[in-house]
């Protein structure tokens, strides 16, 4: 048998205590409602199974994914009956899969309702579109006889602008409240991370935080509550000295104005550290800030080691990746910063 490959020169350190802290705070802020957890996109890039186990220990009991393949993986760690699949049964095979594993589909159309009923049904969730105009039944669809045949665990809607002081929030709240009166259900959910901070009227019975669990700060009201969770780290592949006047990287976008000690790390845009970090990003080591020099490459980034003279090949540095600040600097959203992190990171 071939030897196991060594660990990569990239790792993503996940602060599990901060992850649990963030859920507990969001649960507390949800008042009489309970907080669930959106763990779609592989737990926002951190590893859905790992994330779910931490959140379960913290007290979380409801989990949301987008795709059926995500649900199959998550069912290794979570009771399938506690997993809701947001995209619903698009095919008969999806419905049969949900029945076989005991998963809860989120019904988004009358066609999906009919498909679920034909498959034998069972508990499901229902999404009502109240103004975001993505997936979900309109209010006018709720009188359809097929809806009354559904065994609805959670009646959902989704806010379009919860992080903003938008009049659309009140409109969606009113429509969701109307839907709750029209459809029989056990629990109701509207608020995402930012929606929790809109107040008790938006909480229903269940909230669905996502970004804030993982260190994102979608609104100012959460900035002193949420802790950073994800820390991308890379090993130094090479340390070298360059002279004044020498350039670094593709297209010579950085030219040294002095003799410099630089390092090459095993991190690039193929790992989700995109070219927008060129000349902007920085790493940290022992309290020293190590700016990115020149253009980020596919698999490599060059950093200035002037402030860390003791670093050697094989030593590790940590990317500046506190999500609100990183988003402002890079131009990427906090969601993109997390979900772009590639598969080459050891998590």
Q: Which residues pair with 264 in a beta bridge?
A: 238, 302
Residue 231 parent element (H or E)? strand 230-242
Dihedral angle sign, alpha carbons of residues 322, 324, 329, 332: positive
**DSSP for 172-198?**
HHHHHHHHHHHS--SEEE---HHHHTT
Looking up tokens 């596919």 gives 298
Which tokens hold the place of 136?
């979900």
Q: Is 335 a catalytic residue?
A: no
Candidate list 44, 250, 273, 321, residue with the active-site label? 250
- CA dihedral for 29, 108, 133, 141, sign (positive or negative): negative
Is residue 220 exposed (0-12), middle (13-18) or buried (19+ Cβ within 10 Å)? exposed
| CA R_g for the chain | 23
Q: How far apart are CA 31 and CA 85, in angstroms?
A: 25
C-beta of residue 308 within 8 angstroms of C-beta of residue 185: no
Whether 189 and 204 have beta carbons less than 8 Å apart is answered as: yes
- Within the chain, how many helices (H) and strands (E) appear? 11, 18
Q: Give CA angle at 345 (344, 347), nearest 5°.
A: 135
Say whether 250 is catalytic: yes
Distance of alpha carbon 107 from alpha carbon 38, whole angstroms: 17
User: Of the residues 40, 214, 269, 335, which is catalytic?
Assistant: 40
Catalytic residues: 40, 250
């Amino acid at each position: 048998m071939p030897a196991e490959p060594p660990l990569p020169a990239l790792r993503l350190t996940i602060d599990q205590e901060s992850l649990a802290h963030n859920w507990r705070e969001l649960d507390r802020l949800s008042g009489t409602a309970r907080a669930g957890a959106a763990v779609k996109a592989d737990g926002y890039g951190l590893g859905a199974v790992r994330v779910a186990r931490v959140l379960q220990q913290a007290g979380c009991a409801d989990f949301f994914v987008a795709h059926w393949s995500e649900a199959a993986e998550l069912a290794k760690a979570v009771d399938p009956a506690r997993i809701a699949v947001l995209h619903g049964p698009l095919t008969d095979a999806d419905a049969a899969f949900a029945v076989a594993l005991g998963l809860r589909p989120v019904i988004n159309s009358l066609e999906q309702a009919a498909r679920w009923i034909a498959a034998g049904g069972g508990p499901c969730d229902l999404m009502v579109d109240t103004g975001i105009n993505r997936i979900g039944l309109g209010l006018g669809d709720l009188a359809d006889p097929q809806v009354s045949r559904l065994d609805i665990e959670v009646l959902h809607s989704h806010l379009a602008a919860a992080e903003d002081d938008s009049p659309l929030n009140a409109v969606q709240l009113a429509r969701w409240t109307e839907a709750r009166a029209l459809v029989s259900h056990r629990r109701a959910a509207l608020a995402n991370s930012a929606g929790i901070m809109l107040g008790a009227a938006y909480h229903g019975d269940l909230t669905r935080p996502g970004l804030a669990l993982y260190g994102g700060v979608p609104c100012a009201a959460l900035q002193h509550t949420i802790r950073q969770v994800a820390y991308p780290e890379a090993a130094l592949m090479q340390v070298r000295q360059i002279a004044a006047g020498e350039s670094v990287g593709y297209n010579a976008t950085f030219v040294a104005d002095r003799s410099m000690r630089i390092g090459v790390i095993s991190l690039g845009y193929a790992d989700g550290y995109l070219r927008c970090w060129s000349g902007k990003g920085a790493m940290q080591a022992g309290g020293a800030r190590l700016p990115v020099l020149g253009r980020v490459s596919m698999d490599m980034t060059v950093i200035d080691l002037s402030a860390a003279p003791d670093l050697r090949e094989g030593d590790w540095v940590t990317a500046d990746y506190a999500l609100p600040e990183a988003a402002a600097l890079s131009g990427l959203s906090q969601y993109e910063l997390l979900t772009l992190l590639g598969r080459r990171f050891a998590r």
